[in-house]
Amino acid sequence: MAITVNEGKIFTINTKNTMYQMYVNEEGVLFHSYYGAKIGYSDLSYLSYKRNWIAAFSPNPRGKDYSHNQTKDELSVFGNGDFRLTALSLVNHDGTTACEPVYYSHQILNGKYSLEGLPAFYGDEGETLVITLKDKAYDIYFHMYYGVFSEYDLITKALVIENKTDKQIKLNKALSLTLDLSKGTYDIIHFHGAHARERMYERTRITHLKSTVSSNRGASSHLQNPFVIVCDKDANEEHGNAYGVGLVYSGNFVISAERDQYDLTRVVAGINPEGFEFTIEPNDSFTTPEVALVYSNEGFGKLSNCYHKAVRNNLCRGKFKNARRPVLINNWEGTYFDFNADKLVNMARDASKIGVELFVMDDGWFGHRDDDFTSLGDWFVNEEKLQGTLENLVKRINAEGLDFGIWFEPECISEDSVLYREHPDYCFKIPNRDPQMSRNQLVLDMSRKEVRDNIYNQMVKVLNSANITYVKWDFNRNLCDLYSVELPRERQGEIYHRYMLGVYELLERITSSFPDILFESCSGGGGRFDLGMLYYMPQVWTSDNSDAIDRLKIQYGTSFAYPVRTMGAHVSVCPNHGNARVTPLSTRGNVAYFGTYGLELDITKMTEEEKEEVKRQIVEFKQYYDLIQYGDYYRLLSPYTPDESRYCAWEVVKEDKSEALVCTVAYEAKCTVPPETLKVRGLDPDKFYRINGSSEAYLGGALMNGGFWLDYDHVSYASRLYHITQI
């Protein structure tokens, strides 16, 4: 039993290695006491605040020995004297902003809770604790949900605010998490970026300034990922306390941390309050997105592996979550908009010969789209361009031995489209103003059922018209000029969130209507690579940047929260279309192995030698598939430390430690290069191993503590795989 309640006052959540404790005081306030290493049962309520200590300018409840400005409140609220970052701010029907949540009841449920209309981790092996608080003055209830996956040290949280008064209340801020850490000096690691440069690792000290990552773009965005690690100032891959905070949400978000005036560190996370307001009608409720927490006292490696397993087994869904995914070829970088059916079939024919299994027709097959000015919203086939029906094209591709996949951008619309001409009000636009264009397109108001139904029906028609086994769901701009014709003036602040709820509803409908289709999420590459999207689509196009060297940083940053299985990774041509870099084909292959591996090029233009190399790669990728996709993942050498090592390196290890695969990628070749050894992780220290079938035997402990010699290739960006097998 992961959840225990003592005398109705102390709530303890135990996972395999961690413990989370809360406590209800005499007035019914729910305080956080502890989150960290498992320490067996003990009453840690004394850690919630220092008794009999109230600092100047920290207001206190009348006659009480504490101030909310100094306590660890499990649900921190604005307006009660807590002047730090808080999670909740509401306006009562009378205009007051006061809110005093106190204990009302609790429940322990078998299995993991789900959230209506929102993505969430799921599974019968999970457990649920619900603590309900109630405002002292009004019938407003706060249901605090805790989900526990003991094996992965994962604790999830969500808040349902229920209005049982007979009047409307309004939320100005409704975050999912308040986390007060024990005293310490902490860093925050976050993953920033841009289009084609997603999830760049950055680490900063949490100081008395607020450290905030956020998005106000209507998508989680390329710029910041809704995942951070808060860790000891000296924590690293193998050592130290680290807390992962990941939002299971794809829209506007905020994660903020601050060290307060008493040097305590608080972290809050949830929907970005900027541009957010939500009215809750009587007898209605509001549900915050879920936040997923993992604590590790063995540094980031352990923390990442907990997320990886939980995402693989208890977030991703459907037929493909654990099945081997097909090796695909996508025509985007190979042809862009310039193709017809014959061209695609020729590509498929060559691809089939070297072992590719799925052909994906990207953007440009619908309406009269030959560039990015037109036709989004017109999801009907351009039969002139495809030289016939879609069914016919798919039959031709299938006849070459390949399955068929197709691209959609369901959330957007071009002004030059039938849909726009018929329904100009379907997209976001502010009356009397000219909207901002982005890639010449506008965004559909997905908060409206009518709009979603239209897109759903169009997509269903296409998907039923041919033998389609894969869909790439793209989203190539961000939201602005928000105005929804269906919402009254006072509810316009709900659009960002309602948009996300609408997208999730449409995704749920489409993915459940087509359970045999593999869905890949995309937003100009990795502009929406988050735990929310992974609930609907088990893989994400990681970045439009497919240069193997840039990918080292992109995939490195992505790997902190997201498993290899979720990262779309393709081999493309050189010079790379984005940065003109030339890299060995073997390196492009090796880097893409640690993702979904596919091709994104015009295969008909490859030399025979290149095709042979890719053929070899596909065989090798399949040979290592299970090890790579289900093994424990270790970041060995960071791509950010070229002065410390000439290589970037990472490793996957089979759960039973019998086998590992290390990949190294060297930076630019240099003169007079000293040889280097590399230490691996995760092996059995007492067992012997061979590397790439060599005759030498190495003790696991030796490989982990002493390392092995790396082979040096006098070529820029050379890469090697080292297959380590137990004897």
- Is-contact 263 239, C-beta < 8 A? no
CA dihedral for 715, 719, 721, 722, sign (positive or negative): positive
Q: Does 405 bind ligand GLA (CB under 6 A)?
A: no
Q: In this chain, which of 476, 478, 511, 521 binds ligand GLA, going by CB under 6 A?
A: 476
237 makes contact with ligand GLA (CB under 6 A): no
Please provide residue 593's backbone torsions phi and psi, each rounded to the nearest 5 degrees: -55, -35
Q: Which is nearer to ligand GLA, 35 or 365 (CB)?
A: 365
Least Å from the CB of residue 526 to ligand GLA: 9
With binding defined as CB under 6 A, does residue 162 bind ligand GLA?
A: no
Q: In angstroms, what CA-CA distances link 106 with 41, 42, 124, 345?
A: 20, 20, 20, 61
User: What is the distance between the alpha carbons of residues 487 and 494, in angstroms, rounded to a whole number?
Assistant: 9
95, with CB counted inside 10 A (0-12, 13-18, 19+), is exposed
Q: Which amino acid is at 404?
A: F
Dig out the tokens for 419 from the structure. 């849909």
Nearer to ligand GLA, 58 or 576 (CB): 576
Residue 632 lies near ligand GLA (rule: CB under 6 A): no
> How far, in Å, CA of 159 to CA of 147, rounded?
12
Nearer to ligand GLA by Cβ, of 34 and 404: the residue is 404
Compute the least distance from the CB of residue 346 to ligand GLA, in Å: 20
Contacts of 702 (CB under 8 A, 6+ apart): none
- Answer yes or no whether residue 362 interacts with ligand GLA by CB under 6 A: yes
Enumerate the H helices of 315-407 as residue ranges. Answer: 332-335, 341-353, 390-399
Q: What is the total count of residues that contact ligand GLA (CB under 6 A)?
A: 11
- Please confirm, yes or no, whether 544 is among the known catalytic residues: yes
- Per DSSP, the residues of 300-320 read HHHHHHHHHHHHHHHTS-STT
Take residue 43 and report the two structure tokens written for it.
């009453």
Q: How far is the CB of 332 from ligand GLA (least distance, A)?
A: 5
- Of 244, 253, 261, 255, nearest to 209 by C-alpha is 261
Residue 134: HSE in the Cβ half-sphere, 13 Å Cα cutoff: 9
Selecting among 73, 544, 550, 632, the annotated active-site residue is 544
Residue 332 found at the interface with ligand GLA (CB under 6 A): yes
- Would you count residue 473 as binding ligand GLA (CB under 6 A)? no
**Complex with ligand GLA: residue 333 or 494, whichever CB lies closer:** 333
Query: What is the C-alpha separation between 383 and 393, in angstroms, rounded?
Result: 10
Min dist. Cβ of residue 572 to ligand GLA (A): 11
Per rule CB under 6 A, is residue 175 in the interface with ligand GLA? no
100 and 137 Cβ atoms separated by less than 8 Å = yes
By CB under 6 A, tell whether 198 contacts ligand GLA. Answer: no
Interface with ligand GLA, residue 135, by CB under 6 A: no
Nearest approach, Cβ of residue 512 and ligand GLA (Å): 24
Q: Does 598 bind ligand GLA (CB under 6 A)?
A: no
Q: Are 318 and 515 in contact (CB under 8 A)?
A: yes
According to CB under 6 A, which residues from 502 to 531 bind ligand GLA? 522, 524-525
Among the listed residues 73, 474, 530, 550, the single catalytic one is 474
Q: Which residues of 228-245 are buried (b: 16+ CB within 10 A; e: fewer)?
A: bbbbbeebebebbbbbbb
474 in contact with ligand GLA (CB under 6 A) = yes
> Least distance to ligand GLA from the beta carbon of 702, Å?
44
Does residue 371 have an active-site annotation?
Answer: no
* Smaller CB separation from ligand GLA, 100 or 520: 520
Q: Is there a contact between 412 and 376 (Cβ–Cβ < 8 Å)?
A: yes
Residues 437-456 binding ligand GLA (CB under 6 A) are none
Of the two residues 75 and 455, which places its CB atom closer to ligand GLA in the complex?
455
**Nearest residue to the partner ligand GLA, using Cβ:** 363
The number of beta carbons lying within 10 Å of the beta carbon of residue 363 is 20
Query: Pick from 544, 547, 613, 632: which binds ligand GLA (CB under 6 A)?
Result: 544
Q: Supply the minimum distance, in Å, between the C-beta of residue 476 and ligand GLA.
A: 5
Q: What angle do CA 637, 642, 645 make, to 5 degrees?
A: 55
Which residue type sits at 12? T
Residue 541 makes contact with ligand GLA by CB under 6 A: yes
Q: Helix, strand or coil for residue 291?
A: strand
Q: Which is nearer to ligand GLA, 277 or 544 (CB)?
A: 544
For residues 357 and 363, which CB has a smaller minimum distance to ligand GLA in the complex?
Answer: 363
Does residue 407 interact with ligand GLA by CB under 6 A?
yes
- Inter-residue contact 425 to 491 (CB < 8 Å): no
Give CA–CA dist 33/47, Å, rounded: 5
411 contributes a contact to ligand GLA by CB under 6 A: no
Q: For ligand GLA, give the closer residue by CB, 15 or 441.
A: 441
Minimum distance from CB of 525 to ligand GLA (Å)?
A: 5
Could you give the 3-state DSSP secondary structure of residue 458?
A: helix
Question: What tokens were used for 518?
Answer: 């593999």
CB of 361 to ligand GLA, least distance (A): 10
Kindly state whether residue 363 participates in binding ligand GLA, applying the rule CB under 6 A. yes
Q: Which CB atom, from 23 or from 332, has the smaller least distance to ligand GLA? A: 332
Name the minimum Å distance from CB 527 to ligand GLA: 8
* Joined tokens for residue 171: 């939320």
Query: Which residues are marked as active site?
Result: 474, 544
Q: Contact residues for ligand GLA (CB under 6 A)?
A: 332, 362-363, 407, 474, 476, 522, 524-525, 541, 544
